Structure 1
Amino acid sequence: MHIFALGLNHHTAPLAIRERLAFPAGSLQAALADLIQRGLVGEAALLSTCNRTELYCTTRDPQATADWLADYRQIPLREISPYLYTHPDRNAIRHMFRVACGLDSMVLGEAQILGQLKDSVRTAEQAGALGSVLHKLLQKSFSVAKEVRSSTAIGANIVSMAAAAVHLASRIFEQMSDTKVLFVGAGEMIHLCAHHFTGVSPAQMTIANRSLHRAQELAVEVGGKAVALETLGEILPQFDIVVSCTASPLPLIGHGMAERALKARRWRPMVMVDLAVPRDIEPEVAKLSDIFLYTVDDLSQIVSAGKDSRLAAVDEAEGIIQTQVDAFLHWLHTRDLVPTIRQLRDHAETLRLAELERARRLLAKGEDPQRVLEHLSQALTNKLLHGPTHYLNQAEDQDLAHAQEVVRQMFLSDSRNLSGRSQSNPAKPTRHS
C-alpha cells in the first residue's frame, strides 16, 4: 500500500466548497469507521477545519477514497474534483509535515493547526483507524513541527491584526490579567480580537453592539458579557482597553466622550485600538495624553514586519522538512526489508543447526575432530554459496554483468577491504629452504 494525502484547502477551493466538504464536529469517528469497514484503506485519519478537509491514508486506490469522500458528504464528485489534490508517498509525507508546521496555513506559521491535527489523531485512534505506519508518520509530523518552531522564527512574530492589538495593549499594561476590555462591534475582526484576548485572560471582556443578540453570541464564546451600543458613553470609563471595528459611517467615540471617560477614571491610562475604516474613533482622541490610540495603519506596520520575518524563515523550515521526509522514507524502506532479512537469517540458522547436528553425530561416533570441523566448514560454505552461485548461473547474457555486480557487492566487499589492507601492509615473506 502507498501513503496518500487527499483533500482540498483554502489554496485550492473557495469557502462555498470547503464548507460543503467539512465534517461536522463529532462526526469524524463514525466516518473513519465507515471508511475502514468498506476496506478502502489500510489506515486513515481525517483533518477537517474551516480552511481544509484532508484524508491521510494508506491505500492502493486513492480514487476510491476520493469517491468515498464525496459520497459520504453527499456531494457529486464532479463538483469538488476541480479543487481536490492527491499527494502520493514522498509528497504526502512532505505535505503533512508542512501542514503540521503551519507552512500551508492561511496565516503562515500559526500554531492552531497543530492542535487540530493532534485532535484528528486521537479521533483516528478511537475509531481504530491507525496502524503502525500512519501513527509513526503523524507522530513524526509533531516532532518536525516542534523542531521547526524551536529552531526557526516561523512562529515568533506577529502576523495578524488581532495579535497586534493584544501586543500593543500589553506594552502599556504589564498585568493584562488585571485589565477590563471593551469590544465595540461583533463582526469577524472583533471575533478574532476577542478570541486572541482570551489568551491573556483579562479580568473582564464586554461586547457592545447595535444587535444585542450578536453581541450575546460572541460573549458566550469568550466568556464575557454583552451590552447595547447605546450605552457606550456611559460604560466607557470602566475599561482599560477599547477595541473597535464597526461599519459606522461616523465616529462612535469622539474627543469629548474620551475626555469625560478619562476624568471619570481619574486619568488612569487607556488603550484604544481602532480597526475600522472609516474610523470609529476621532483622530483628535490621540491628543489626550493618557490615551494611547492605535489605528489600522499602526497595526499593519507590525503585521508587515512579522510576515517578512516569517517568510525569511520559510527556506530554513523547508530544509528541516526535507531532511525529515528523507529520514521517514528511510525508516519506511527499512521496515519493508525486515521480513526478508528475518527470512534470510532464519534460512541461515536452519543450515547452521543442520550441519552442527551432523557434526555432533560424527563426533559421537569417534570421528577425528579436525576432520569433523573441516567437513562442517566446507558444508556450510557450500550451502551458503549455493544461492548466489545458482543466481549467477541462471543469469542471461544481458543480465550477467548486473548479476555479477550484485554478488560482488553482497559477498566480496569485505574481501576487497582485506586485500587493500594486505597490500598496504604486506606480510613479511617466508623463507623456504
Structure 2
Amino acid sequence: MHLFALGVNHTTAPLSVREHVAFHQETLGQALRDLTARGYVKEAAILSTCNRTELYCRTDAPQAAMEWLAQYHRLEPQTIQPYLYSLPQQEAVKHAFRVASGLDSMVLGEPQILGQMKQAVKIAETAGTLGMLLHKLFQRTFAVAKEVRTTTDIGASSVSMAAASVRLAQRIFGDFKGLNVLFIGAGEMIELCAEHFAAQKPGSITVANRTLERGAQLADRLGGKAIVLAELPEQLAEFDIIVTSTASQLPIVGLGMVERAIKARKHKPMFMVDLAVPRDIEAEVAELDDVFLYTVDDLAEVVKEGIGNRQQAAEEAEAIINVRVDNFMHWLEMRESVPTIRALRDHAERLRRHELEKAQKALAHGEDIHHVLESLSQALTNKLLHGPSHALNAASGEEREQIETLVRSVYRLHGN
C-alpha cells in the first residue's frame, strides 16, 4: 500500500464546497475508525480546518477513499470530484511539509496550521488509525516545519485573518471609538481576533458562547461581558461589529435575525466577519444593504498584502522542503526493501545453522578440528555464492552484463 494525501483546500474549492466536507472535531475519531474499517485504507489521519479538509492515508485505493469522503457527508461523489486532489507518495510528502510550514495557507507563513495538524495527528493516534508510516511522516513533517520557522523569515510581516478583519472594519468605520464589538464563540480563532480588536480600544466588547463560563473567561481578559447564544436574537442590534467562529454544523445567525436587528438599528451599518466552516451566518445576509459580511474567502485579498516581503523566505523554505522530501523518500524506499533484506538474512541464517550442525556432529565424532573448520568455511562460502554464480552462468548477452555489473557493485569487486 502507498501513501496518499487527498482532499480540498482554499485554492481548489470555494467555501460553499469546503463547508460540506468539513469534519467536526468531536466526531473525527469515529470518522477515522469508519474509514479504516472499510479495509482499503490501513492508516489514516484527517486535517479539517476552515481552509482545507485533507485525508492522509496508506492505501492502494485512493479513489475509494475519495468516494468515502463524499458518502460520509451524504454527498454525491460527482458534486465534489472536480475540486478534489489526490497526491501520491512523494507529492503527498511534499504537500504535508508545505502545509505544516505555512506555505500552502491562505496567509503565507501563518503558524496556526501547525497546531491544527498536530491536533489532527493526536486524534488519529487516539482513534488507533495512525500506523508506522503516517507516524514517521508526521514526525518528519513537524521537524521540517520547525526547521523552516527557525531558519527563514516565513512568518515575518504576515497578515493574519484576525488582522485582516480589523483592517476591513477600519475601512468602513475608521476608528473603533464608541463601537460595540461582539465575538461569537470562544475558541482559538476568536481569541486571536479578540486580541486584535481589543487593541483598537472599541466602546465595548461582548463574547457570546454556548456556555457562559467559557465565554466569561475570555470576556474577563478583554474587559468585556459575556452572554449565551440564546440571547443573540434580542441583543444583536446593539452591535456594530460581529466576528464569529464556532464549530456549529448549522448557521447561528439567520437572515431573519439580522433583518430585525438592522430595522432596530434604523439601518445603521453592521460589519460581520464569519470565519467558521461550515458558516455561522446564513449566506443570504450578505445581500442586505446595510450589512458588510465577509467570509474566510473574502479575506483572501487582504491577507495577500505584504506577500512580497515574505517571497524570499518562501523560496528558502521551498528549498529546505525539497531536500527533506528527498530524505524521506530515501527512507521510504529503504523501508520497501526490508522484506527482501529479511528474506536474504533468513536464507543465510538457514545455511549457517545447517553447516554449523554438520560441524558440531563431526566434532562429536572426534574429527580433527582444523579439518572441520576448513570444511565448514568452504561449504558455507560455496552455498552463499551459489545464487549469484548460478545467475551469471545461466544468463547471456545484455542480461549477463547487467547481472555482472550488479554483482560487482554488491560485492565491491574491482579490476579484472
The TM-score, its normalising length taken from structure 2, stands at: 0.70
Q: Percent identity?
A: 51
1:314 has 2:326 as partner? no
Corresponding residue for 2:390? 390
Go from structure 1 to structure 2 and tell me whether the alpha carbon gap of 1:352 and 1:231 turns closer, same or farther (over 3 Å shift).
closer
**Deviation at residue 339 of structure 1 after TM alignment:** 2.6
Structure ID, larger Rg = 1
SS in 2 for 1:105: coil
After TM superposition, the structure 1 stretch with the greater mean CA deviation from structure 2, 332-341 or 376-385, is 332-341
What SS does structure 1 have at the residue aligned with 2:114? helix
Is the alpha carbon distance of 1:349 and 1:25 closer, same or farther for their aligned partners in structure 2, counting shifts above 3 Å? Answer: closer
Confirm or deny: 8 A CA contact 1:183 1:194 kept in the other structure: no
The alpha-carbon deviation at position 30 of structure 1 amounts to: 1.2
Return the alpha-carbon distance in structure 2 between the equivalents of residues 358 and 381 of structure 1. Answer: 15
Distance 2:127 2:238 in 1: 51
Aligned to 1:353: 353
Q: Give me the whole-angstrom Cα distance separating, in 1, the residues matched to 2:188 and 2:139.
A: 30
* 8 Å contact kept, 2:110–2:160: no
Matches within 5 A, 1:335-374: 335-374=335-374
Per-residue displacement from partner, 1:61-92 (whole Å, max 9, x unpaired)?
Answer: 11101111101101111111111100000000
Q: Mark the CA change 1:141 to 1:37 in structure 2 (over 3 Å): closer, same or farther.
A: same
Aligned to 1:217: 208
Counterpart contact for 1:183–1:205, Cα < 8 Å: no
- Separation in structure 1 between the aligned mates of residue 374 and residue 338 of structure 2, nearest angstrom: 33
Aligned twin of 1:328:
328
Deviations 1:20-77 (A, max 9, x none): 1111231211111111111120100111111111111011111101111101101111
State yes or no: 1:195 paired with 2:184: no
User: Aligned AA for 1:317?
Assistant: A
Flag the 1:194–1:368 CA change in 2: closer, same or farther, 3 A.
closer
CA separation in 2, counterparts of 1:193 and 1:165? Answer: 12
The structure with higher relative contact order (CA 8 Å, sep 6+) is: 2
Question: How many equivalent residue pairs?
Answer: 334
How far apart, in 2, do the equivalents of 1:116 and 1:351 lie? Answer: 52
- The residue number in structure 1 matching 2:245 is none
The letter of the residue matching 1:99 is V
Deviation of the 1:336 alpha carbon: 2.0
Alignment of 1:175-186 (within 5 A): 184-186=180-182
Give the drift of 1:154. 0.6
C-alpha spacing 1:5/1:344, structure 2 compared with 1 (3 Å): same
**How far did 1:95 drift?**
0.5
How does the TM-score come out when normalised to structure 1? 0.67
Residue 69 (structure 1) aligns with: 69
- What residue is the counterpart of 2:96 in the other structure? 96
Deviations 1:115-156 (A, max 9, x none): 111111111112111101011111211111111101110113
Gaps of 5+ in 1: 168-180, 210-214, 233-245, 251-299, 421-433
Which is worse superposed, 82-91 or 384-393?
384-393
Q: Is the 8 A contact 2:44 2:58 kept in 1?
A: yes
- Whichever residue aligns with residue 361 of structure 2, its letter is R
Question: Is 2:157 the partner of 1:141?
Answer: no
Structure 2 residues not aligned, in runs of 5+: 168-176, 227-234, 241-264, 271-301
Residue 3 of structure 2 contacts residue 88 of structure 2 at CA under 8 Å; is this kept in 1? yes
Alignment-mate amino acid for residue 103 of structure 1: L
Amino acid at match of 1:374: E
Give 3-state SS (helix, strand or coil) of 1:46's partner.
strand
Which residue matches 1:410?
410
